[in-house]
Chain A
Amino acid sequence: GAVVSQHPSRVICKSGTSVKIECRSLDFQATTMFWYRQFPKKSLMLMATSNEGSKATYEQGVEKDKFLINHASLTLSTLTVTSAHPEDSSFYICSASGQGASVGIQYFGAGTRLSVL
């Protein structure tokens, strides 16, 4: 099956610093990647959708200058949390869909636990 790798799995940073999370499709071309945020005991909240080579489309209420998304290649998307604050602490999950994977299926990474001190 299609595999999505997300790195790092856990990161702790100081308030005010920036953190980059990588999402890679290992065995298919991810034409579309999605970034979700999951609060404790809550469902997944879609933050943004990115198509390779295009600007990401952000969901309402998500600050695009705060959460920078880059999808420069068919196998890599990055989410950068800029000037992180404790309220940004959360579980971030990426997913991908595209060529070489089953149509209409999103394949998820294992998630990144971000803790901002």
Chain B
Amino acid sequence: AQSVTQPDIHITVSEGASLELRCNYSYGATPYLFWYVQSPGQGLQLLLKYFSGDTLVQGIKGFEAEFKRSQSSFNLRKPSVHWSDAAEYFCAVGAVSGYSTLTFGKGTMLLVSP
């Protein structure tokens, strides 16, 4: 069965500092990997995805993520965090099939300090 682990429940970063959110997955085939962001009381917005090709993918809002097959990881990074980045971040794994069921991690809450 597929699973996603986000080991950090919450992380606090100073504004302007760099950020890395960890994600490890377990999947029996080639994974399709996603990062979503959720602001309080809102739905999920897709930040970026990895399907194939270049293992370093760029997303919206200055985020990037790197797929490392050997480590079963898909960590999310941002070089300089802004206060507006404070939100919950979810990593997910899925398959491009008839319908793309996603398995989500438990999320990492990002807090940004002034």
Contacts and interface: CB of A to CB of B under 8 A. Distances in A.
Interface of A: 4, 6, 31-32, 34, 42-44, 46, 49, 51, 91, 93, 95, 97, 103-111, 113
A43 B100 contact: no
Contacts of A95: 44
Given A43-B106, A104-B96, A6 B43 contact: yes
B67 interface: no
Given A43-B90, A44-B90, A104 B44 contact: no
A108 B36 CA distance: 10
B99 A109 contact: no
Nearest to A50: B99
B104 to A, nearest CB: 5
Given A93-B43, A111-B41, A104 B51 contact: yes
A109 B45 CA distance: 9
B100 A109 contact: no
Contacts of B107: 42-43
Interface residues of B, number: 24
B14 interface: no
Contacts of B98: 32
Contacts of B63: none
A79 B107 CA distance: 25
B71 interface: no
A49 B101 contact: yes
B93 to A, nearest CB: 12
B100 to A, nearest CB: 5
B84 interface: no
B99 A97 contact: yes
B43 A103 contact: no
B44 A108 contact: yes
B43 A106 contact: no
A32 B96 CA distance: 13
Contacts of A32: 98-100
Scoring B44, B90, B104 by chain A CB atoms within 10 A of each residue's CB, the highest score goes to B44
A44 B34 CA distance: 14
B42 A110 contact: yes
